[in-house]
Amino acid sequence: MVIVVAVTIVIAALALVGTRWKALPWVPDAETIGAASPSEATTAPPTIGAPTDLATGFEVPWGLTFLPDGRALVGERPSGDVSVITVQGDVERVGTVPGVADSGEGGLLGVVTSPTFADDQLVFAYITTNTDNRVVRMRLKNDRLVGARAVLTGIPKNSFHDGGRLLFGPEGMLFVTTGDAGEPDLAQDKTSLAGKILRISPDGTIPKDNPFPRSAVWSYGHRNVQGLAFDDDQRLWATEFGSSAYDELNLIEAGNNYGWPEVEGAGGATSEANGFVDPQVTWPTSEASPSGLAWQDGVLYMGALRGERLWEIPVDGDTAQQPTAALDGELGRIRTVMVAPDGTLWLTTSNTDGRGDPREGDDRVVSVPVG
């Protein structure tokens, strides 16, 4: 495996009065190492306001998705419990996803509502079972989850690197992120569902316009993707956990190979020689360990677990600009980021996952104004 060694550049802090923003503490030297280097931001980042607790007392809230009426569903990873949260912070449990196995990083992971929820009341979940990772769908009927059935099975599982994010695309297809399940070579094996971004129809069948015939694979060469977001031009962005050096933000295109395990971070000449796609932005693993990703008004918002901050990444066309950080250490580990119907960001913390430092009330769902 090639791990690119970067030259560290110290960047002066941005003088942004009245905000919590600060400059990215590290940027790869693209000329020296062939790394993907973000462009300099051309506009000041939006102000991130003070976080407000919406609901507390959760155990590793992972998946978060909004209903048409403005309420949200949140799933708890170890138990498989799913609850409804109102904008006033009222919480009501609506059911437990059957078959969930609490297994290290596995359990109840991504949760997403159907784009036609008003007609079909469908809710999709990515779960770890005793035998595999899989996607199941249910109905939310009279505020109760019923009728769970599998639509995609056989995704390799492990106690780590299980992926788990779900997102519907503009054409109504379901995108599914998977990890390499602790076997890095599976990421390069297009016959395996591990280390991939997958694309399926809501009933689990394979769309005919997927890049590989009769395959759910949309892109490959991933280590552990846990964040997905479409921008206004229907480009797909993804966050990816690195191993020991670099975490990544990638621009995803059908059929592309993102290099793992041959490359971690930007591979430069190695990537060019092998047809790998280098990331748009990289971070030291201590600054990110990225999970949730959301898009709003030209900006990607990325939750950092080990980095314990919210990264803001302006995007110009198909190019990511210089990231800046907010909420540094204020909430601890940030797992999921979603844009609420009112334009605020809803975040879930992940301080009770065995790797964080729980605070009173953890874990929590938090609202953050952006302006």
pLDDT tens digits for range 267-276: 999 999 999 9
Which sequence spans correspond to the domains of the chain? 2-368
Burial call 199-238: b when 16+ CB within 10 Å, e when fewer: bbbbebebeeebeeeebbbbbbbbbbbbbbbbbeeeebbb
For residue 109, give the nearest of 164, 33, 153 by alpha carbon: 164
Token pair in block for residue 228:
């997905």
Tell me if residue 29 falls in helix, strand or coil.
coil
- The CATH number, out of the four listed (3.10.20.30, 2.120.10.30, 1.10.240.10, 2.70.98.10), of the domain defined by the range 2-368: 2.120.10.30
pLDDT value at residue 42: 52
Token pair in block for residue 4:
């690119």
Regions of the chain with pLDDT less than 70: 1-44
Question: What number of other Cβ atoms are within 10 A of residue 8's Cβ?
Answer: 10
Tell me if residue 55 falls in helix, strand or coil.
strand
pLDDT value at residue 45: 72
pLDDT value at residue 25: 33
**pLDDT per residue as tens digits for the range 192-224:** 999 999 999 999 999 999 999 999 999 999 999
**Confidence (pTM):** 0.90
How many angstroms separate the CA atoms of 121 and 139, rounded?
Answer: 5
| CA–CA distances in Å: residue 265 to residues 114, 210, 316 | 34, 26, 21
For residue 28, give the nearest of 2, 4, 3, 6 by alpha carbon: 6
Which residues, at least 6 apart from 283, have a Cβ–Cβ distance to it below 8 Å? 24, 26, 246, 247, 248, 290, 307, 311, 323
How does DSSP classify residue 273? H
Number of H helices, E strands in the chain: 3, 28
How does DSSP classify residue 75? E
Q: Is residue 61 within 8 Å of 336, Cβ to Cβ?
A: yes
pLDDT value at residue 21: 31
| CA–CA distances in Å: residue 101 to residues 79, 148, 242, 283, 286 | 8, 15, 25, 32, 29
Residues, the chain: 371
Tell me if residue 305 falls in helix, strand or coil.
coil
pLDDT value at residue 40: 55
How many angstroms separate the CA atoms of 125 and 172, rounded?
Answer: 16
How many angstroms separate the CA atoms of 94 and 146, rounded?
Answer: 10
CA angle in degrees (0–180, nearest 5) for 316-318-319: 60
pLDDT value at residue 318: 97
H/E run at residue 118: helix 117-120
